[in-house]
């Protein structure tokens, strides 16, 4: 076990910048996530929040800086080591990203079949448990296309849980859901994280959801983290950008000074 | 002139990308094998093999049957005037074992299967399923490209054999009804015209065409951008590219075999 893991630091971003061609998406991000924490990263749509998660997963490589996950620089890892690292984390996608040709049961069984030597009975048991956890244990044989958006999101969450990851990344977990489904997902995230001490990084722009989930919040604006703090200080922050975002005002620094 | 240079450069870049995809697929498969696991799911391979192979039999057989029939009719019509119509079965046999069998199969499979590979993987790319497979550490290339490529490479030689048999059946219909060649004589002429070298060239071509169709189909799917319209455009491009490259590859193999003969 290396130093970073002893320190309980799960993710550490050091001066991360990322540009797609001439378009700079992230500009010197410094961020640290501790074990068991639920960090909510907020920011405008298209502001680079999801990009931050993809950098953490090693799907994108930063233009400069480094993203350390469990103390390892994801961009420098060889394939085998990177896949071993990904085994310890999971991502819940905005549109679920369930494999459309597989049934709900097969979708959940897939990571277990590919990563473990568990018997079919054990796998079926785990799949059943995780589906029950998200209250979806009646849809085993259905295809993702036969489910509603909210149901798919819950299945996506269940799939992320089957390998019992130490870190889960959520991309807009409650976007586009009705208030009840949204609250169910939020409560599931909190319950799960508290019960298993799982670290969660959630990107969202839904304020209600953010305050329900977060133990700490960060504001991403113009490619930089401009503010971090616990939900209470965040709510009362004096920073004009944070204020405008929290209050959802149409006038303020974000709209008056649109990013180039 | 500049347009040709630009097109050539574009083609080289794409070729490089396809080779990179194949290398990555092998590397991902090797990673799985090192972990003591199969390179890809056998169930997935068999499902694809059925789609590529078994399900293509009617179309390949029908196209080849009619082509064999037409070829026998056209050549028989010409050769009959010189009293050399007994050459027709040999002509069809040789043409199909080394040339038309693999080529027709390649074209049919490129249109039928290459397009479906692109549409399927393209839709998965657009809906982030490919990325999800990657984020689970499962290796999307060996998981998606591996079984499809293996299926198309192994099934194309088998389909080529079916194509040859169907073409000879078509040829026999003409021999029997129009040229008065009886079955035993037809059989003798066909067997005399099957050369090991022709069969080997045909098999090598089939394997190469399989590699081309599978690679192009999967690559076009993985590189889809822009939602449903992107998937549509990529599918069209996949079929056009696969057929063009297959015919180009066929010509190249023909030149090499003729020069080395």
Over residues B86-113, the mean pLDDT reads 93
Burial class (CB in 10 A: 0-12, 13-18, 19+), A156: buried
Does the CB of A115 have a partner CB in chain B at under 8 Å? Answer: yes
- A145 interaction partners in chain B (CB closer than 8 Å): none
Q: Does residue A1 have a pLDDT over 50? A: no
* A3 has pLDDT over 70: no
Average pLDDT over residues B56-61: 96
Q: What is the mean pLDDT of residues B74-95?
A: 91
Cβ–Cβ contacts within 10 Å for residue B67, how many?
A: 21
Residues in chain A within 8 Å Cβ distance of B117: none
Give the 3-state DSSP-derived string for chain B, with helices as H, strands as E and coil as C.
CHHHHHHHHHHHHHHHHHHHHHHHHHHHHHHHHHCCCCCCCHHHHHHHHHHHCHHHHHHHHHHHHHHHHHHHHHHHHHHHCCCCHHHHHHHHHHHHHHHHHHHHHHHHHHHHHHHHHHHHHHHHHHCCHHHHHHHCCCCHHHHHHHHHHHHHHHHHHHHHHHHHHHHHHHHHHHHHHCCCCCHHHHHHHHHHCCCHHHHHHHHHHHHHHHHHHHHHHHHHHHCCCCHHHHHHHHHHHHHHHHHHHHHHHHHHHHHHHHHHC
Percentage of chain A beyond pLDDT 70 is 96
Predicted structure pTM score: 0.88
pLDDT tens for A166-192 read: 999 999 888 777 888 888 889 989 988
CB contact under 8 A, B31 and A83: yes
Mean pLDDT, rounded, for B14-40:
91
CA dist list (Å): B250 to A205, B101, B102, B209, B245: 55, 11, 9, 8, 8
**CA–CA distance, B67 with B211 (Å, rounded to integer):** 25
If contacts are CB pairs under 8 Å, which of residues 8-37 in chain B contact chain A?
27-28, 31, 34, 37
Residues of B in contact with A101 (CB under 8 A): 120
ipTM of the predicted structure? Answer: 0.89
**Chain A residue with minimum CA distance to B131:** A59
Q: Which residue of A has its CA nearest to B28?
A: A79
| CA proximity to B141, closest of B22, B7, B10 | B22
- Smallest CA–CA distance from B144 into chain A, residue: A99
Q: How far apart are CA A222 and CA B191, in angstroms?
A: 75
Please, are residues A103 and A49 in contact by the beta-carbon 8 Å criterion? no
**Cα B173 from Cα B175, distance rounded (Å):** 6
pLDDT at residue B225 is higher than 60: yes
Enumerate the residues of chain B whose CB falls inside 8 A of the CB of residue A57.
134-135
Question: In which residue are the tokens 């568990």 written?
Answer: A118
């Amino acid at each position: 076990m290396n130093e970073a893991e002893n320190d309980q630091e799960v993710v550490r971003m050091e001066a991360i910048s990322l540009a797609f061609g001439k378009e700079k998406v992230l500009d010197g991000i410094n961020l640290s996530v501790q074990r068991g924490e639920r960090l909510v990263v907020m920011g405008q749509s298209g502001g680079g929040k999801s990009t931050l998660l993809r950098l953490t997963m090693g799907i994108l490589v930063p233009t400069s800086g480094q993203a350390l996950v469990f103390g390892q620089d994801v961009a420098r890892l060889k394939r085998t080591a990177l896949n071993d690292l990904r085994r310890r984390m999971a991502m819940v996608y905005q549109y679920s990203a369930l494999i459309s040709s597989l049934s709900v049961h097969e979708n959940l069984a897939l990571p277990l079949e590919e990563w473990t030597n568990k018997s079919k009975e054990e796998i079926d048991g785990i799949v059943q448990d995780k589906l029950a956890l998200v209250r979806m244990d009646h849809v085993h044989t259905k295809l993702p296309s036969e489910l509603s958006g909210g149901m798919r999101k819950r299945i996506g969450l269940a799939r992320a849980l089957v390998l019992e990851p130490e870190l889960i990344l959520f991309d807009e977990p409650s976007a586009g859901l009705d208030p009840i489904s949204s609250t169910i997902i939020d409560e599931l995230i909190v319950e799960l994280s508290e019960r298993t001490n799982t670290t969660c990084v959630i990107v969202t722009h839904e304020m209600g959801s953010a305050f329900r989930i977060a133990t700490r919040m960060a504001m991403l604006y113009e490619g930089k983290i401009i503010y971090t703090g616990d939900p209470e200080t965040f709510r009362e922050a004096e920073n004009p950008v944070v204020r405008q975002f929290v209050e959802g005002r149409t006038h303020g620094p974000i709209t008056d000074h649109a990013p180039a | 002139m500049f347009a040709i240079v630009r097109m050539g450069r574009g083609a080289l870049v794409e070729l490089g990308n396809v080779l990179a995809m194949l290398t990555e697929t092998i590397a991902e498969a090797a990673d799985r094998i090192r972990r003591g696991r199969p390179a890809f799911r056998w169930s997935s391979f068999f499902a694809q093999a059925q789609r590529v192979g078994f399900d293509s039999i009617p179309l390949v057989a029908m196209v080849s049957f009619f082509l064999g029939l037409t070829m026998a009719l056209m050549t028989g019509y010409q050769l009959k005037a010189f009293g050399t119509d007994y050459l027709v079965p040999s002509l069809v046999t040789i043409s199909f074992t080394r040339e038309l069998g693999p080529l027709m199969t390649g074209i049919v499979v490129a249109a039928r299967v290459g397009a479906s590979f692109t549409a399927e993987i393209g839709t998965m790319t657009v809906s982030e399923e490919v990325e999800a497979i990657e984020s689970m550490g499962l290796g999307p290339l060996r998981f998606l490209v591996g079984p499809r490529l293996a299926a198309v490479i192994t099934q194309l030689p088998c389909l080529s054999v079916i194509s040859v048999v169907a073409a000879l059946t078509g040829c026999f219909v003409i021999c029997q009804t129009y040229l008065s060649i009886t079955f035993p004589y037809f059989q003798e002429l066909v067997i005399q015209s099957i050369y090991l070298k022709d069969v080997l060239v045909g098999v090598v071509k089939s394997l190469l065409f399989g590699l081309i169709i599978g690679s192009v189909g999967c690559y076009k799917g993985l590189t889809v951008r822009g939602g449903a319209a992107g998937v549509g455009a990529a599918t069209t491009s996949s079929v056009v590219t696969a057929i063009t490259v297959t015919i180009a590859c066929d010509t190249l193999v023909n030149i090499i075999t003729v020069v080395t003969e």
